[in-house]
Amino acid sequence: MKRLLVVEDEKDISEMIVYHLSSAGYKVETAYDADQACAVIDEAAFDLVVLDVLLPGMTGWELCRKIRADASKASLPIIFVSALSSEADRIRGFDLGCDDYLMKPFSPREMVSRVRAILRRAENRTRERTRFGFGPVTIDFLHHRVTLHGKTVHFTQSEFQLLYILTNEANRVFSREELLTLMRENDSELELGNIDVHVHRVRQKIELDPEKPRYIQTVWGVGYRFVND
């Protein structure tokens, strides 16, 4: 049974959402503000979060950003439900990394349908790629863990994301600008110069000879690519 968290401060709306999701066969828990949600998420694993934007204290925007910045929860599906209905608000939600944005008032049946679709996509992604190995390196995408010769190597969120992007499309050359755009989805403070720094750090952690990299290669004048011999 999929476990969902509903973060909504208006009790009647929260109860309505819980009722329909529970009726659809999901196990549903609730939180009425972002701080409470953070505590609940830290204590248990969820498959999806239904998140209001206008919460007391920390907003839904801020909570979404916090979840996406945590390597262990970065892939947790999030669907915003909000009375904020402008195009700018919807774009902001997707820019922060939400999987869907549902405007209030909404149809409960549509909400359940969208939740099902998001969970289905998440399951497909998990089945497609949970683990990847090359040379002495193994990447566990589900748990955001990298091992070298069987020993865990610490990666920051940005470093892990860079490794994911490059290994996901072997031999494709990514420009620094492309990498910056993709990585900024989880770290809005990244600058173009940080890309070279992150590449250097990743090489230090996985390459036998970081000065003559075998896996993450520089394409001069363009960017970087991952090569798996």
Q: Say yes or no to pLDDT of 147 above 90.
A: yes
CATH number of the domain bearing residue 190:
1.10.10.10
The answer for residues whose C-beta is within 8 angstroms of residue 19's C-beta and 6 or more apart is none
58 shares a domain with 149 = no
Nearest to 182 by CA among 196, 201, 195: 195
Residues 6+ apart with CB under 8 A from 223: 173, 174, 175, 176, 178, 179
What pLDDT, on the 0 to 100 scale, is given for residue 146?
A: 92
For residue range 36-71, list pLDDT tens digits in order: 999 999 888 899 999 999 999 999 999 999 998 876
User: What is the spatial distance between Cα 175 and Cα 103, in angstroms, rounded to a whole number?
Assistant: 36
- Residue 189 — very low, low, confident or very high, per pLDDT cuts 50/70/90? low
Q: Omega before 56 cis (within 30°)?
A: no
The answer on pLDDT for 127 being more than 60 is no
**What 3-state DSSP class applies to 86?**
coil
Q: What is the mean pLDDT of the chain?
A: 89
Statement to judge: residues 121 and 164 lie in one domain: no
Q: Tell me, yes or no, whether 163 and 116 share the same domain.
A: no
pLDDT category at 206 given cuts 50, 70, 90 is very high
Residue 94 main-chain phi, psi, to 5 deg = -70, -35
Tokens of 37: 């949600």
Tens digits of residue pLDDT in 70-99: 767 878 999 999 999 899 999 999 988 899
Rounded mean pLDDT of 26-34?
A: 95
User: The domain that contains 43 carries what CATH number?
Assistant: 3.40.50.2300
Is the same domain home to 22 and 109? yes
pLDDT reading at 143 higher than 80 = no
What pLDDT is attached to residue 142? 73
- pLDDT of 214 over the 60 cut: yes
Copy the structure tokens of residue 41: 């998420």
Chain centroid to CA 210: 28
Q: Which of 103, 128, 153 is the C-terminal boundary of a domain?
A: 128
Final residue before a domain boundary, out of 84, 110, 128 = 128
pLDDT at 169 over 90: no
Domain count for the chain: 2
Is residue 71 within 8 Å of residue 97, measured between CB atoms? no
Q: Is 149 exposed, middle or buried (0-12, 13-18, 19+ CB in 10 A)?
A: exposed
Tokens standing for 60?
A: 């839904």
pLDDT tens digits, one per residue of 191-204: 777 899 999 999 99
**Whole domain around residue 216: which residue ranges?**
131-226
Final residue before a domain boundary, out of 77, 104, 128: 128
Same domain, 88 and 152: no
Rounded mean pLDDT, 24-37: 95
Same domain, 155 and 62: no
User: Do 222 and 195 contact (CB within 8 A), yes or no?
Assistant: no
Considering the domain architecture, whether residues 41 and 56 belong to the same structural domain is answered as yes
Torsion angle of alpha carbons 22, 26, 27, 30, nearest 10°? -60
CA distances from 221 to 73, 174, 182, 201, 218 (A): 35, 11, 19, 20, 9
Specify which residues 198 forms β-bridges with: none
Quick one: which H or E segment has residue 50?
Answer: strand 48-52
Same domain? 119 vs 137:
no
